[in-house]
Structure 1
């Protein structure tokens, strides 16, 4: 079984599109009917996120960590207990490509670090967009790390110690731990996830804050 974990904190405006894209990826014919379980980790949500997830019939887990590292870790543990062989992670403000899971599995490595594409730059100046693209490498071997586009085998995840309970950069820490544990990692430019460049980001020091730091 393949497990997909999405940490959520008040994402009623964007969660629908995320789940719909994951359902398409989950039923890709190239997966050969292997089961895919999508788990929405509702972390201290006070909006309609839970209702939206339940409408689509995906799994939900409620917690009050208000911490993305702990939310990802708890979600991973639940799916590992259900015997997931592969864990894929994205964010609620992101949309994955149809072949997202197929691509991750097909690389035949311990972990996959993919790229993201911004779907709407309207909240930022042209200068921010230019600075972002000047430093972003859209090639294989890129070395960018995004919790919105990350996959790892259950064996490698356990060996690396899993996600730490960090409020930010939990994805960077996991990849560092994977490298130290000897995991084989694919840094691919092929299976890009579309994500938001909103200024009202849910995670301090995350992608949204990075974009804000590029404002002259």
Structure 2
């Protein structure tokens, strides 16, 4: 088999996520296996950044069955965590040039679709610089009224173009060009995309392969997805 021509590295920041990161990594394993089943020449790496985790997250990662690079920091800062993960990914031994490498990010409380990596590979090979994917809350965390309202406000085919670190991808040469993730306590994903647009990079949004994210109401950042859900659907999820 010839030398791989493309590489995707997935960055997963995690702070005290022992309850949910196992499902996150299993979903990534399924997505990786599906991609490599049709694209065996693609390299795929996964970097988990343990950011001040003290709850057993590391043990879940170690026994997950998914080969990962683990980085440990003590910042409790999602921007710093994504940046550290990207730096570890960049340092991965590979002969693939930056223009053919892709950084994809998701979150430890999220589950990617089995086609997720294939969608990001399509973006890479199509010349896209930044891909904005969609997310939806885990419907088990919404009551019946919440699920109904979600579906009413997110009809099929509606592409809001929001920025979610749980479903974001960027070509490595573009990432370097705009300076990478900033060490922001929140909205580091929005900041990165804003700089990409200022640099006139090709930023695309897609409905393909939405990521399912925890419907918890208290998250790891004060203004993140959990805060949005709390304001839109109430302070308590449907399940404990």
Fold shared per TM-score above 0.5: yes
Asked if structure 1 preserves the Cα contact closer than 8 Å seen for 2:219 and 2:227, the reply is yes
Alignment of 1:24 onto 2:30? yes
Q: Which runs of 5+ in 2 are unaligned?
A: 1-6, 235-240
Distance in 1, matches of 2:196 and 2:20, equals 30
- Deviation of 1:214 after TM superposition, in Å, equals 2.0
Match in the other structure for 2:238: none
User: CA 1:128–1:208 in structure 2 vs 1: closer, same or farther (change >3 Å)?
Assistant: farther
Change (3 A) 1:188 1:70: same
Shift of 1:191: 1.4
Alignment correspondent of 2:3: none
Q: Confirm whether residue 212 of structure 1 aligns to residue 230 of structure 2.
A: yes
Q: How far apart in 2 are the matches of 1:104 and 1:205? A: 26
CA RMSD, 1 decimal: 2.1
2:213 is aligned to 195
- Does residue 1:61 correspond to 2:67, yes or no? no
Does 2:235 align with 1:185? no
- Could you say which residue in structure 1 is the equivalent of 2:53? 45
SS at match of 1:202: coil
For residues 154-190 of structure 1, the C-alpha deviation after alignment (integer angstroms, 9 at most, x for no partner) is: 0111111111111111111111111111211220001
**Structure 1: gaps (5+ residues):** none
TM-score if structure 2 supplies the norm length? 0.82
State the aligned residue count. 215
TM-score where L is the length of structure 1:
0.91
Residues 128 and 211 of structure 1 are in contact (CA less than 8 Å); yes or no, is this contact kept in structure 2? no
Partner Cα separation in structure 1 for residue 118 and residue 158 of structure 2: 17
Quick check: which has more Rg, 1 or 2? Answer: 2
